[in-house]
Amino acid sequence: MSDALASATHRFLEHLRVERRYSPSTLENYARALTRLHAHAERLGLQRWRELRSAQLQALLAEQHRSGLAPASLGLFLSTCRSFFRFLAREGEVSVNPAVGVRSPKIPRKLPNVLDVDEMGALLEFPVDDAEAVHDRAMLELLYSSGLRVAEVVSLRWCDLDADAGLLRVTGKGSKTRIVPVGSQALHALAALREQEKAGDEAPILRGRHGRPLSTHGVRTRLKRRARDQGVWKRVYPHLLRHSCASHLLESSGDLRAVQELLGHADIGTTQIYTHLDFQHLARVYDAAHPRARRK
């Protein structure tokens, strides 16, 4: 690989890490996509990124599609390429973004899975009879109450919680901060956890070994075990609780903007997927209840 290609890639990833403050997992995804782009540039014998043409990038997408790469993965790859060449354009290294106008296969719209209200109740109502149960009840109530991402919940410290106001300061994607409400059941579970751990303001709310913050893997493992013990046989994972929170709120309130703010979505289009879930629920109720809808 030419030094010019490698240098530009390194500067872009540093820009994402330092200035955009992307998470390590997101940076890994960008680096993986750019590695594929590098390999293609090498096969073409390119020395500088300005030599890459749209048709050559389209050919790479077509090749990856034929090899079985999923449309969603191709879309993420193309999005990375667009961001990369926008960065290079700002730096004066390219005059045209070759990724503009390149199309990836259409991604089928996949609705998120959710737990219904009864399933959520079954998951959350386990006996709180030991220290681990106190911890896990607070963890699950917090994930469901405030619709948090797993990376957000493990980064929380007690100073982020205003228990009197029922509010929580959350740092989300891109280090953006938002204030979200915390329900009464979650506040009760959190009060029991803090009393149990005698935690100071700077201590993590969810603690793992040696007082360090619980890992995202630890959250997934504990949640999976609780679901199994409670007889919830669906595949249960942290983001499922976030989806369930959003779906239940939208079903009850119909306030899409409020759900967008709660979840920290930059684009309301991301939140709108939950309206499709609500329509599915309406369709099921209609089919079951309307006398002219029932099938013989």
| Residue 100 to residue 252: CA distance in whole angstroms | 41
Taken in order 25, 248, 286, 268, the sign of the CA dihedral is negative
Which residue among the candidates 157, 207, 239, 281 is catalytic per the annotation?
Answer: 239
Structure tokens, 112: 């998120």
Q: Assess whether 239 carries a catalytic annotation.
A: yes
Type of residue found at 79: S
Q: Is 265 a catalytic residue?
A: yes
- Catalytic option among 17, 173, 188, 220: 173
Residue 179's identity, in one-letter code, is I
Q: Which of 81, 83, 74 is nearest to 105 (CA)?
A: 74
Asked if 22 is an active-site residue, the reply is no
Is 173 among the catalytic positions? yes
Catalytic status, residue 242: yes
Catalytic residue among 40, 50, 149, 226: 149
Coil, helix or strand for 112?
coil
CA pair distance 158, 148, nearest whole angstrom: 16
**For residues 129 and 141, is the Cβ–Cβ distance under 8 A?**
no
User: Exactly one of 40, 242, 243, 248 is catalytic; which is it?
Assistant: 242
Give catalytic status of residue 237 as yes or no. no
Tell me the C-alpha distance between 261 and 111, whole Å. Answer: 20
Query: Annotated catalytic residue: which of 22, 30, 144, 274?
Result: 274
User: Can you tell me the distance from the alpha carbon of 135 to that of 129, in angstroms, rounded to the nearest whole number?
Assistant: 11
Pick the catalytic residue: 38, 220, 265, 281?
Answer: 265
Q: Are 158 and 168 in contact (CB under 8 A)?
A: no
**Annotated active-site positions, please?**
149, 173, 239, 242, 265, 274
